[in-house]
Amino acid sequence: MSGIAEVARLAGVSKSTASRALGGTGYVSDDTRRRVMAAASSLGYVPSTSAVSLATGRTQNIGVVMPYVNRWFFAEVLEGLQQSLLQRGLDLTLYDAKPGTDGRNRIFEDFLARKRFDGLIAVGLEPDHDEIDRLLSIGRPVVSVVGSGEETTVVEIDDDYVARRATEHLVALGHRDIAFVGGGVTTHWAQVDRRRLSGYFGAMEDAGLSNHAVHIVSEVTMPGGYAAAVDALGDVRNRPTAIVATCDEVAIGTIIAARRLGVQVPSDLSVIGIDDHEFADMFSLTTLRQSPREQGRVAVQLLLEHLDDPSRPMRVVRMPSQLIVRNSTAALDPRRSAVVIDSRVRGE
Amino acid sequence: MSGIAEVARLAGVSKSTASRALGGTGYVSDDTRRRVMAAASSLGYVPSTSAVSLATGRTQNIGVVMPYVNRWFFAEVLEGLQQSLLQRGLDLTLYDAKPGTDGRNRIFEDFLARKRFDGLIAVGLEPDHDEIDRLLSIGRPVVSVVGSGEETTVVEIDDDYVARRATEHLVALGHRDIAFVGGGVTTHWAQVDRRRLSGYFGAMEDAGLSNHAVHIVSEVTMPGGYAAAVDALGDVRNRPTAIVATCDEVAIGTIIAARRLGVQVPSDLSVIGIDDHEFADMFSLTTLRQSPREQGRVAVQLLLEHLDDPSRPMRVVRMPSQLIVRNSTAALDPRRSAVVIDSRVRGE
């Protein structure tokens, strides 16, 4: 069986560079890493985990804690994490931490305490104070995708801003009766929803429409948005002319409900979401785009930086978002109510 | 720090029983396992991974290989796997193996060869012969969720049967122009689609409708079903009166397309799916129900049986499926075309 020396020779690098490249952490250019990986692969060299661990004190494994895997945002982040970790030869151990379950307690009490990972990535975890203390007490670097405080490095979009931007789009189209659909039911996404709701209220206030603001409570799922919208759109006289949904899944549920009730989108009702979900195009949904997959990739990069330099200060990385205008939003003016916005995807 | 002896004393069991319960494998009743876990938890006892590994020769980690995590079926299976492994104190390391990618090659060449797991669960992997050889050469037990051969123990539904059953439901409602939508585009789900297509053709043949059978090629996604249905339903004179979709995502895409085109479901078009996807109820979709989450749970149980007894023969476990009749299917008879089947969920 070939050793690291043969791999280094074939790749034309030093043994320590080959070791760093195969270890997945420490600075090595992408080109060098690829060359070393190719050399290792052609020689059939598989680094022994225990040897790598002994040499580096590392497990070559990253723990990922998330409350759901069967939801668009989480699954997309997970794809991004997977791809990035795979490129670096690192394993991914997944910890499922649904809020309020025994399983979540066990994750925090038992699994994480085993420390079978070099670092942790917490996705949409919204940990309570006790859980944050436990996470930090493990003594491994932690990066959060969507965070709630200053305790860890965080990757996220600016939730207040995106909801504000979505609301302003509808205000600019002449709408006044603009409702916000989402949140207020479960603890899941409580913090994200609160920030988005706050951005909506801020934009309504800035437009002098505070007394038109309405929060329609909804589960943050497609069926949740559907159920909330069936209720809210049923009363013709109090029906809003436009809706800001807390995410695309809720927006799509709203559109499905509108179609059921014979409410035309966008001539009777404009709907805007947040996400650019894989189904957004199918529903011609206007939305604020984010890329959870990219957030996953950035989280891996930040975690590796903390592993390389444990003294590195925490930071908050705000990812960009972009207004994508499709056919679910249109101007209020009755004479123009049949005229829809050009369906070309338009970045602003 | 407390040791295993204290845990065993507090739980009122022998040291070896406590060790088996904490190790996650070997037979221990659920009640005993819970008692030992509670004792360990109250004493703050965390089994040292290396100690457990030394004592048992096991990593306490199960590898899960799947091509996607951001699709309903896979995410649901993963939830089931997570829950079952968590209950037994076992870690889950996730290997993402998209067909035809460099990443997939690396999973098979490098990651799996590290053997950082006691056993593997392969979900919808559809491995080629070379990959199967590699999986088996690792020398760890493998259980497949949805399989393709006799090489590993398999958990799956009877795909031929469910598609046959779906088709027979439409035949019984008087339909003759019944099309099958799905598959034929990508390699993903190629084997599953082929079995379902075969079940559809079989049922059409049995009903003397072979010359009415049409396979509409479609990506196996919601947008894929939508795109295929927009094409297929556009031509009024050649439009089928009923559709068997290869899965609920394709069925829902078809329903969305029908609504767009002004085709009424079910009076103009009956649609049946396979899955009972979380959105099926929202679209009143008639479907053949399966539970991927339960398949995940059963896969863990089977893998642990193989770990306990490596000489255990391979087997194929067929999970039940059930016809759920909602409002997307109705009798063809024109005089009855407005009469829809009672929407109560009805198991057969």
| Residues across chain B | 348
Does domain A61-157+292-321 fall into CATH 3.40.50.2300?
yes
Name residues whose C-beta falls within 8 Å of residue A49's C-beta, 6 or more positions apart in sequence: A59, A60, B114, B116
DSSP state of B183: B
Instruction: Identify the CATH class of A4-56.
Output: mainly alpha
Tell me which of A248 and B337 has the higher pLDDT: A248
Q: How many CB pairs under 8 A join A and B?
A: 116
What are the φ and ψ backbone dihedral angles of B330, each rounded to 5 degrees? -150, 165
DSSP per-residue string spanning B73-113: HHHHHHHHHHHHHHHTT-EEEEEE--TTSHHHHHIIIIIGG
Cis preceding-peptide flag for A266 (omega within 30 of 0): yes
With CB atoms and an 8 Å threshold, state whether A82 touches B69.
yes
Which long-range contacts link A132-137 to residues 24+ away (Cβ below 8 Å)?
Answer: A134/A108, A135/A108
Using CB atoms, pick whichever of A78, A89, A94 lies closest to residue B92.
A94
DSSP state of B319: P
With CB atoms and an 8 Å threshold, state whether B114 touches A278.
no
Residues of chain B contacting A41 with CB distance shorter than 8 Å: 106, 109-110
User: What is the model's pLDDT at position A130?
Assistant: 84
- Diameter over CA atoms, chain A: 78
DSSP state of B152: S
With CB atoms and an 8 Å threshold, state whether A279 touches B223.
yes
A222 touches chain B (CB under 8 A): yes
Radius of gyration over alpha carbons of chain B, in Å?
24
Residues of chain A contacting B37 with CB distance shorter than 8 Å: 106
Tokens of B263: 């085709």
B106 touches chain A (CB under 8 A): yes
Average pLDDT over residues B221-246: 93
Task: Say which range, A9-18, A276-285, B38-47, B299-308, has the weakest mean pLDDT.
Answer: B38-47
Nearest-angstrom CA–CA distance, A95 and A131: 14
Look-up of token digits 């059930």: B322
Nearest-angstrom CA–CA distance, A15 and B270: 66
Nearest-angstrom CA–CA distance, B93 and B328: 40
Residues of chain B contacting A40 with CB distance shorter than 8 Å: 110
Cα of A88 to nearest chain B Cα, Å? 11
DSSP state of B267: T
Containing A181, the helix (H) or strand (E) segment is: strand A178-181
Residue B283 sits at the vertex; the CA angle it makes with A170 and B324, to the nearest 5 degrees, is: 160
User: What is the model's pLDDT at position B344?
Assistant: 37
User: What is the model's pLDDT at position B55?
Assistant: 57
With CB atoms and an 8 Å threshold, state whether A91 touches B93.
yes
Task: Say which range, A106-110, A186-190, B185-189, B335-339, has the weakest mean pLDDT.
Answer: B335-339
Q: Do A61-157+292-321 and A159-289+323-347 have matching folds?
A: yes
Asked whether the beta carbons of A124 and A103 are under 8 A apart, the reply is no
B116 touches chain A (CB under 8 A): yes
B222 touches chain A (CB under 8 A): yes
Nearest-angstrom CA–CA distance, B135 and B117: 13
Helix (H, G, I), strand (E, B) or coil at A275: strand
| Residue of A95, A58, A50 whose CA lies nearest to A304 | A58
With CB atoms and an 8 Å threshold, state whether B83 touches A96.
yes
ipTM surpasses cut 0.85 = no
Q: How far apart, in Å, do the first and last CA atoms of chain A sit?
A: 56
Task: Say which range, A32-46, B57-71, B92-106, has the weakest mean pLDDT.
Answer: A32-46
| Residue of A307, A260, A298 whose CA lies nearest to A83 | A298
Asked whether the beta carbons of A327 and A344 are under 8 A apart, the reply is no
Q: How would you write A91-124 as a 3-class SS string? A: EEEEEECCCCCHHHHHHHHHHHHHCCCCEEEEEC
Taking the alpha carbons of A7, A8, A9, A15 in that order, is the dihedral positive or negative?
Answer: negative
User: What is the model's pLDDT at position B347?
Assistant: 40
Per DSSP bridges, beta strands B153-156 and B142-145 are: parallel
With CB atoms and an 8 Å threshold, state whether A282 touches B41.
no
Cα of A292 to nearest chain B Cα, Å? 12
With CB atoms and an 8 Å threshold, state whether A93 touches B89.
no
User: What is the model's pLDDT at position B340?
Assistant: 39
pLDDT of B301 above 70:
yes
Q: How confident is the model over B165-174, as pLDDT tens digits? A: 999 999 999 9
Using CB atoms, pick whichever of A107, A113, A253 lies closest to residue B46.
A113
B172 touches chain A (CB under 8 A): no
User: What is the model's pLDDT at position A337?
Assistant: 41
Task: Say which range, B70-84, B149-163, B186-200, has the weakest mean pLDDT.
Answer: B186-200
Nearest-angstrom CA–CA distance, A143 and A124: 11
Q: How confident is the model over A306-316, as pLDDT tens digits? A: 999 989 999 99
- Describe the crossing of helices A292-308 and A72-87 by its angle, rounded to 10 degrees: 40
Nearest-angstrom CA–CA distance, B182 and B108: 29
Asked whether the beta carbons of A140 and A118 are under 8 A apart, the reply is yes
User: What is the model's pLDDT at position A340?
Assistant: 39
A66 touches chain B (CB under 8 A): no
User: What is the model's pLDDT at position A342?
Assistant: 39
pTM: 0.80
| Residue of A200, A186, A212 whose CA lies nearest to A274 | A200
Residues of chain A contacting B259 with CB distance shorter than 8 Å: 259
Average pLDDT over residues B286-294: 97
User: What is the model's pLDDT at position A348?
Assistant: 37
Nearest-angstrom CA–CA distance, A116 and A107: 12
Using CB atoms, pick whichever of A47, A86, A283 lies closest to residue B106.
A86
**Torsion angle of the four alpha carbons B65, B68, B73, B77, in this order, in degrees rounded to the nearest 10:** 30
Name residues whose C-beta falls within 8 Å of residue B207's C-beta, 6 or more positions apart in sequence: B167, B168, B171
Using CB atoms, pick whichever of A41, A226, A283 lies closest to residue B282.
A226
With CB atoms and an 8 Å threshold, state whether B110 touches A279.
no
Containing A231, the helix (H) or strand (E) segment is: helix A222-234
- A71, A117, A279: best mutation site toward chain B, by most B Cβ within 10 Å? A279
B191 touches chain A (CB under 8 A): no
Nearest-angstrom CA–CA distance, B325 and A34: 54
Residue numbers of A between 247 and 266 with CB closer than 8 Å to B = 253, 256, 259
User: What is the model's pLDDT at position A61?
Assistant: 93
Residues of chain B contacting A111 with CB distance shorter than 8 Å: 86, 89, 91
Cα of B98 to nearest chain A Cα, Å? 10
Residues of chain B contacting A223 with CB distance shorter than 8 Å: 278-279, 281-282
With CB atoms and an 8 Å threshold, state whether A86 touches B93.
no
How far does Cα B310 stand from its chain's mean position? 25
Using CB atoms, pick whichever of B49, B75, B113 lies closest to residue A114.
B49
With CB atoms and an 8 Å threshold, state whether B106 touches A91.
no
* Mean pLDDT taken over chain B: 86
DSSP per-residue string spanning A305-347: HHHH-TTPPP-EEEPP-EEE--TT-----GGGTTPPPP-S---
Per DSSP bridges, beta strands B214-216 and B322-324 are: unpaired
- B33, B65, B70: best mutation site toward chain A, by most A Cβ within 10 Å? B70
Nearest-angstrom CA–CA distance, A307 and A103: 28
Asked whether the beta carbons of B92 and B118 are under 8 A apart, the reply is no
Residues of chain A contacting B86 with CB distance shorter than 8 Å: 96, 103, 106-107, 111
Q: Where do the structural domains in chain B lie, given as residue ranges?
A: 4-56, 61-157+292-321, 159-289+323-347
Nearest-angstrom CA–CA distance, A72 and A266: 25
With CB atoms and an 8 Å threshold, state whether A78 touches B69.
yes
Match domain B159-289+323-347 to its CATH number in 3.40.50.2300, 3.30.70.580, 3.90.550.10, 1.10.1660.10: 3.40.50.2300
B110 touches chain A (CB under 8 A): yes
Asked whether the beta carbons of A119 and A64 are under 8 A apart, the reply is no
- Give chain A's residues under pLDDT 50: 1, 50, 335-348
- Diameter over CA atoms, chain B: 78
- Describe the crossing of helices B49-56 and B15-23 by its angle, rounded to 10 degrees: 110
Containing A134, the helix (H) or strand (E) segment is: helix A129-137
DSSP state of A150: S
DSSP per-residue string spanning A56-104: HS--SEEEEEES-SSSHHHHHHHHHHHHHHHHTT-EEEEEE--TTSHHH
Nearest-angstrom CA–CA distance, B90 and A106: 11
Tell me which of B71 and B22 has the higher pLDDT: B71
Q: Which residue of A has its CA nearest to B86?
A: A103
B161 touches chain A (CB under 8 A): no
Asked whether the beta carbons of B125 and B99 are under 8 A apart, the reply is no
Helix (H, G, I), strand (E, B) or coil at A287: strand
Residue numbers of B between 264 and 283 with CB closer than 8 Å to A = 278-279, 281-283
Tokens of B321: 């499926």
With CB atoms and an 8 Å threshold, state whether B86 touches A96.
yes
Per DSSP bridges, beta strands B286-289 and B322-324 are: antiparallel
> Beta-carbon neighbour count of residue A77 at 10 Å?
30
pLDDT of B337 above 60:
no
